């Protein structure tokens, strides 16, 4: 079962399950007064929160710098090499040179969009490589080895921004009902409610 990646990721997305509250006594007889330790308002966890947007941009930049210094995997096609290097201009060049946006990875069998749905919007901001693939005609209904679409994978993985890009680009929402009971990310649950899926 796919879930939000880490405790920090879950907290950033509004899921406070498993997070020790500062007002809990942790075995002490007297807890601290609750009024001093109020949970942040729900607005702090929404996608349009400026602090959250800044942190998302920082995370994205860290991934890009890391990718620039990583060794390229041998045998990758130009499109897959560009996607894994997080190089938007190289992705566009590969697509303009005739690469199929639905090229399957030899190891996983995923298309770039399926892989991005797993990797997430911190590593792949929706307005960059995912949008370029969608504009190039990527198959939004392509399925992975388990039979899941990119929309289903992104929702199960907790990547609501990727899911919203797919929905707004015309991805079928028919499979959402199948994965809805397994969603753990609060933002993904809000997205599903927003679109009444």
Is 67 inside a domain boundary? yes
Q: Write out pLDDT tens, residues 165-178.
A: 999 999 999 999 99
Instruction: Answer for the pair 100, 111: CB distance below 8 angstroms, yes or no.
Output: no
- Whether 160 has a pLDDT exceeding 70, the answer reads yes
- Whether 43 has a pLDDT exceeding 60, the answer reads no
Cβ neighbours of residue 149 closer than 8 Å, sequence gap 6 or more: 140, 141, 142, 143, 171, 172, 175
Query: 106 or 50: whose pLDDT is higher?
Result: 106
Q: Give the residue numbers spanning the domain of 146.
A: 47-194
Is 87 inside a domain boundary? yes
CA–CA dist 125, 129 (Å, integer): 7
Is 30 inside a domain boundary? no
- Whether 63 has a pLDDT exceeding 50, the answer reads yes
CA–CA dist 40, 163 (Å, integer): 26
pLDDT classification of 48: cutoffs 50, 70, 90: low
**Weakest mean pLDDT among 50-59, 79-88, 96-105, 184-193:** 50-59
CATH number of the domain encompassing residue 129: 1.25.40.20
Is 1 inside a domain boundary? no
- Whether 22 has a pLDDT exceeding 70, the answer reads no
CA–CA dist 52, 132 (Å, integer): 24
Is 15 inside a domain boundary? no
Q: How many CB atoms lie within 10 A of CB 15?
A: 20
- Position 30 scores a pLDDT of 46
pTM for the predicted model, two decimal places: 0.70
Is 17 inside a domain boundary? no
Is 21 inside a domain boundary? no
Span 102-131, mean pLDDT?
A: 91
Most confident of 17-31, 67-81, 180-194: 180-194
- Position 75 scores a pLDDT of 86
pLDDT classification of 1: cutoffs 50, 70, 90: very low
Is 109 inside a domain boundary? yes
CA–CA dist 84, 123 (Å, integer): 10
CA–CA dist 59, 127 (Å, integer): 15
Query: What's the structural domain count of the chain?
Result: 1
10 Cα distance to chain centroid: 12
């Amino acid at each position: 079962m796919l879930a939000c990646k880490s405790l920090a990721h879950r907290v950033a997305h509004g899921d406070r399950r498993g997070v020790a509250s500062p007002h809990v006594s942790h075995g002490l007889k007297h807890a601290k007064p609750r009024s001093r330790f109020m949970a942040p308002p729900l607005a702090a966890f929404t996608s349009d929160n400026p602090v959250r947007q800044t942190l998302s941009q920082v995370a994205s930049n860290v991934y890009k710098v890391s990718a620039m210094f990583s060794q390229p995997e041998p045998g990758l096609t130009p499109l897959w090499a560009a996607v894994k290097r997080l190089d938007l201009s190289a992705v566009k060049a590969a697509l303009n040179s005739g690469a199929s946006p639905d090229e399957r990875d030899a190891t996983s069998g995923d298309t770039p969009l399926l892989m991005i749905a797993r990797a997430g919007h911190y590593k792949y901001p929706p307005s960059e490589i995912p949008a370029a693939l969608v504009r190039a005609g990527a198959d939004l209904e392509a399925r992975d080895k388990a039979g899941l679409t990119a929309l289903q994978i992104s929702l199960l993985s907790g990547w609501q921004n990727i899911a919203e890009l797919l929905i707004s680009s015309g991805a079928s929402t028919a499979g959402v009902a199948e994965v809805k009971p397994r969603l753990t990310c609060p933002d993904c649950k809000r997205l599903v409610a927003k679109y009444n899926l």
